[in-house]
Amino acid sequence: GQQLNQSPQSMFIQEGEDVSMNCTSSSIFNTWLWYKQEPGEGPVLLIALYKAGELTSNGRLTAQFGITRKDSFLNISASIPSDVGIYFCAGPLRVNAGNMLTFGGGTRLMVKP
């Protein structure tokens, strides 16, 4: 199956700062998904990207589907304490896998008030 690499692994930032994290793959993806997971809970879908070059926003979150189709970026503007959590990128496990997903290792975000 396809594998995803996320960086950075963790970030400790001050409230109000902007955050940027990325996800790369050695193979092409036709869908990129960004999830957030909080302690004791399951992942929650933040943004879904389906087209190379696509830029999609959800409130203070913006994600982009890389032109090469091998990477994606997630930006969070003006971070607040409730942004704390682990952010995962995900994509289809293989071509035509539908909802069978492979996940990156996550970026753990900590926000200092």
Q: Which is nearer to other proteins, 3 or 75 (CB)?
A: 3
Positions in 42-61 near other proteins (CB under 8 A): 42-45, 48
- Residue (of 40, 110, 44) closest to 79 by Cα position: 110
Q: Tokens for 103, please give them.
A: 């996940």
As measured in angstroms, the least distance from the Cβ of 1 to other proteins is 8
Binds other proteins by CB under 8 A, chosen from 12, 14, 99, 113: 99
Answer yes or no whether residue 105 interacts with other proteins by CB under 8 A. yes
How many other C-beta atoms lie within 10 A of the C-beta of residue 56?
17
Q: Which of 84, 85, 49 is nearest to 69 (CA)?
A: 49
Judged by CB, which is closer to other proteins: 59, or 113? 59
91 binds other proteins (CB under 8 A): no
The alpha carbon torsion through 73, 66, 94, 96 (nearest 10 deg) reads: 120
Q: Which residues here bind other proteins, judged by CB under 8 A? A: 1, 4, 40-45, 48, 88, 90, 93, 98-106
